[in-house]
Amino acid sequence: MDVSIQQSASHWGAVPAEFAIPLVESAFVLRHHEDGLRLREHSRRWMLEHRLVPVDVVGTQADGLRYTELVASYSVGAPFDALCAISDLSIWFFVWDDKHGRYAFHHQHGQWAALRDALYRVVDAPAAYSHDAEPLLSGLADCLLRFHALMSEHWNTSIAEHLRAVIHAYDIEYRERINNYVPPIDDYVKLRAGTFGYRVWLDCLELAAGRTLPADIRQWGEYRRAGLASQEFAGWYNDLCSIRKELAAGELHNLGITMIKHRGLSVGDAIDEVRERVITRVEDFLLAERAALERVDRANLPSEIADAVRHCVFNMRNWISSVYWFHHASERYNVNAWADRSHPPYVVDA
């Protein structure tokens, strides 16, 4: 299962003290898929094929933003075709998030509604959009068609449902942003599960393991708690490292920004509060991980199912180390101010 390269954390950059989590640095190994370099070359070709970035900046997008390294560090052991499909969906997600942000900033209601509705149609019938002129449609369609070839009908039905939930969550966020509405903390936490795509990425653990888990195992409390803790860590740590960037961009949907709005915290105090929540999720994961693996050991499962569950839990762990170091290596998170608030310097128009 652990066919991986262990990387030095220095490869990913230094961690500012306000974002440092010693428990992650001491208890989690930073791993990297053995085919990480091949993945980077694949992703460059894929971004160009679907016109997601211009030719002259594809190297910057592939290297400086570290998108493929992120995926290669939380999809350890995945077959190469599955690794590429997960990585391409992740790249698509970043591009779609940036497009959504620009539409909301400029109140481009018609363009947003058209994209939202078209994406629902892509999820329902990807083959019809595999060569669409809109890069976000053809890119998502391509990912879904490759998923169909790799995984069971049940798994594909599940991820389609979860992608629809992501689109719906982004639509809620769009409407809130154009109305300058900052949701209460608990409402934001629920919305974040959709906009980050927690359930989509948990589905992709099974894709990396090469097997659809039985429904009853997906529902194990221990497995669900471990998965949720790893994903909430990822979503909230992203918020932690993005607070200043998103304040500069005029964005409202960030766990720290909700605390600034609804609890009157300063930026520094909000950073401290979010960091404490993130640490708690790491602690929760370690407890749930142990419980999930102990249940596998005593469940008398067929060996191929037991191995798949262990592989999924293993990559839940890798999500934490990968996301942690990614935020201090990617140029996406090393900017706090720029001239055009709607257009961060890492966004390029294809």
Q: List phi, psi (to 5°) of 339.
A: -70, -50
Q: Is residue 147 part of a domain?
A: no
Which active-site residues does the annotation give? 93-94, 196, 332
Q: Which domain holds residue 221?
A: 16-102+180-333
DSSP state of 213: P
The reply to whether 230 falls in a domain is yes
Rounded to the nearest 10°, the torsion over CA 201, 203, 204, 210 is 160
Using the Cα atoms of residue 153, residue 145, residue 61 and residue 111 in order, give the sign of their dihedral.
negative
Asked if residue 77 is part of any domain, the answer here is yes
> How far separated are the first and last CA of the chain, in Å rounded?
38
Average pLDDT of the residues of the chain = 91
Residue 336's pLDDT is what?
61
| Residue 109 domain-assigned (yes or no) | no
What is the tens place of the pLDDT at every residue in 28-71? 999 999 998 899 999 989 998 998 887 776 767 666 678 888 88
For residue 197, the domain's CATH number is 1.10.600.10
Q: What global pTM score does this model have?
A: 0.93
Distance CA 97, CA 112 (A): 12
Please report whether residue 6 resides in a domain: no
Look at residue 343 in the predicted model and tell me its pLDDT.
58
Q: Is residue 54 part of a domain?
A: yes
The structural domain count of the chain equals 1
* Six token digits for residue 18: 């306000």
